[in-house]
Structure 1
Amino acid sequence: MNNPIVNWWRSQQFKLSLKRGDIRRATQLLQEIQKSGAKFSWLEKLFRDKLQLERYSQEYKRQTETLSKQLTEASQQKDNLILMPDEDFVKYIYKVFNLIQHDEYKLQSTGIDERIFDDFESSLVEYIKEEFSRIPEKQLFIKLEDALEDINNLKSGQDPDYRFSLTPHVYFMKYFLENVYSVYLAWFLIYQDALLPSKVNILDIAAGPGTVAYALALFLQSSSGFFDIPQMHISYYSLEKQDAFQFRGLQFWRRYIESRLTTVNAFFRFVTTDIFNWKTQSNNLPKEFFDFIVISHCFFADSVKKVEANNIYKQIFAISLKKSGYVLLIIQDKKLFKIHHADQSENQEQEKNVVDKFLSELGLELVWYKYLTSTGSRKPSSSASFAKIAKEKLPKQLYMNLLLKQYFGQKYQSCYALDDYVILAKKS
Structure 2
Amino acid sequence: MNNLIINWWRSQQFKFSLKRGEIHRAVQLLQEIQKSGARFSWLEKLFRDKLQLERYSQEYKRQTETLSQQLTEKSKQKDNFILMPDEEFIKYIYKVFNLIQHDEYKLQSTGIDERIFDDFESSLVEYLKEEFSKIPENKLFIKLEDALEDINNLKVGQDPDYRFSLTPHVYFMKYFLDNVYCIYLAWFLIYQDALLPSKINILDIAAGPGTVAYGLALFLQSSSGFFHIPQMHISYYSLEKQDAFQFRGLQFWRRYIESRLTTVNAYFRFVTTDIFNWKNKSNNLPKDFFDFIVISHCFFTDPAKRVEANNTCKQIFATSLKNSGYVLLILQDKKLFQIYDIHQVENQEQEKNVVQKFLGELGLELVWYKYLTSTGSRKSLPSGEFGKFARDKLPKQLYMSPILQQYFGQKHQLHYTLDDYVILAKKS
Local SS of the residue matching 1:292:
strand
The equivalent of 1:299 in structure 2 is 299
The equivalent of 1:327 in structure 2 is 327
Cα separation, 1, equivalents of 2:405 and 2:86: 41
CA distance 1:363–1:68, shift in 2 (3 Å): closer
Cα separation, 2, equivalents of 1:69 and 1:415: 52
Cα separation, 1, equivalents of 2:302 and 2:72: 50
> 1:381, CA displacement in angstroms?
1.3
> 1:427, CA displacement in angstroms?
0.6
Local SS of the residue matching 2:160:
coil
Local SS of the residue matching 2:300:
coil
The equivalent of 2:235 in structure 1 is 235
The equivalent of 2:8 in structure 1 is none
The aligned runs of 1:262-277 (5 Å cut-off) are 262-277=262-277
User: Unaligned 5+ residue runs, structure 1?
Assistant: 1-63
The aligned runs of 1:4-403 (5 Å cut-off) are 74-279=74-279, 282-403=282-403
The equivalent of 1:27 in structure 2 is none
Local SS of the residue matching 2:426:
strand
- The C-alpha deviation readout for 1:114-139, integer Å capped at 9, x for no partner, is 00000000000000000000000001
Cα separation, 2, equivalents of 1:414 and 1:427: 38
- The C-alpha deviation readout for 1:45-87, integer Å capped at 9, x for no partner, is xxxxxxxxxxxxxxxxxxx999998876554322211000000
Q: Which amino acid aligns with 1:401?
A: S
Q: Which amino acid aligns with 1:227?
A: F
Cα separation, 2, equivalents of 1:261 and 1:87: 23
In 2, are the aligned partners of 1:206 and 1:238 still within 8 Å (CA)?
yes
In 2, are the aligned partners of 1:201 and 1:292 still within 8 Å (CA)?
yes
- The C-alpha deviation readout for 1:81-102, integer Å capped at 9, x for no partner, is 1000000000000000000000
Q: Which amino acid aligns with 1:192?
A: Q
TM-score between both structures, scaled by the size of structure 2: 0.83
User: Unaligned 5+ residue runs, structure 2?
Assistant: 1-63
CA distance 1:112–1:68, shift in 2 (3 Å): same
Local SS of the residue matching 1:125:
helix
Cα separation, 2, equivalents of 1:194 and 1:67: 26
TM-score between both structures, scaled by the size of structure 1: 0.83
In 2, are the aligned partners of 1:97 and 1:113 still within 8 Å (CA)?
yes
In 2, are the aligned partners of 1:280 and 1:315 still within 8 Å (CA)?
no
CA distance 1:70–1:168, shift in 2 (3 Å): same
The equivalent of 1:38 in structure 2 is none
Cα separation, 2, equivalents of 1:299 and 1:218: 25
- The C-alpha deviation readout for 1:122-175, integer Å capped at 9, x for no partner, is 000000000000000001011001000000000000000000000000000000
Local SS of the residue matching 1:351:
helix
In 2, are the aligned partners of 1:374 and 1:418 still within 8 Å (CA)?
yes
In 2, are the aligned partners of 1:405 and 1:411 still within 8 Å (CA)?
yes
Cα separation, 1, equivalents of 2:261 and 2:65: 39
- The C-alpha deviation readout for 1:311-358, integer Å capped at 9, x for no partner, is 111111011000000000001000000001111001110000000000
Cα separation, 1, equivalents of 2:269 and 2:295: 17
Cα separation, 2, equivalents of 1:414 and 1:140: 22
The equivalent of 1:61 in structure 2 is none
Q: Which amino acid aligns with 1:421?
A: Y
- The C-alpha deviation readout for 1:205-238, integer Å capped at 9, x for no partner, is 0000000000000000000000000110000000
CA distance 1:281–1:401, shift in 2 (3 Å): closer
CA distance 1:129–1:73, shift in 2 (3 Å): same
Q: Which amino acid aligns with 2:233?
A: H
Cα separation, 2, equivalents of 1:105 and 1:69: 39
Local SS of the residue matching 1:356:
helix
In 2, are the aligned partners of 1:337 and 1:354 still within 8 Å (CA)?
yes
Q: Which amino acid aligns with 2:240?
A: E
Q: Which amino acid aligns with 2:288?
A: E
The equivalent of 1:417 in structure 2 is 417
Local SS of the residue matching 2:83:
coil
Segments ≥4 residues shifted beyond 6 Å: 64-72
Q: Which amino acid aligns with 2:214?
A: Y
Give the root-mean-square deviation of aligned CA atoms: 1.8
Local SS of the residue matching 2:78:
helix
Cα separation, 1, equivalents of 2:65 and 2:310: 47
Local SS of the residue matching 1:208:
coil
Identity of aligned residues (%): 85
> 1:380, CA displacement in angstroms?
1.3
Q: Which amino acid aligns with 1:329?
A: L
In 2, are the aligned partners of 1:168 and 1:248 still within 8 Å (CA)?
yes
Q: Which amino acid aligns with 1:134?
A: K
Local SS of the residue matching 1:235:
strand
Count matched residues.
366
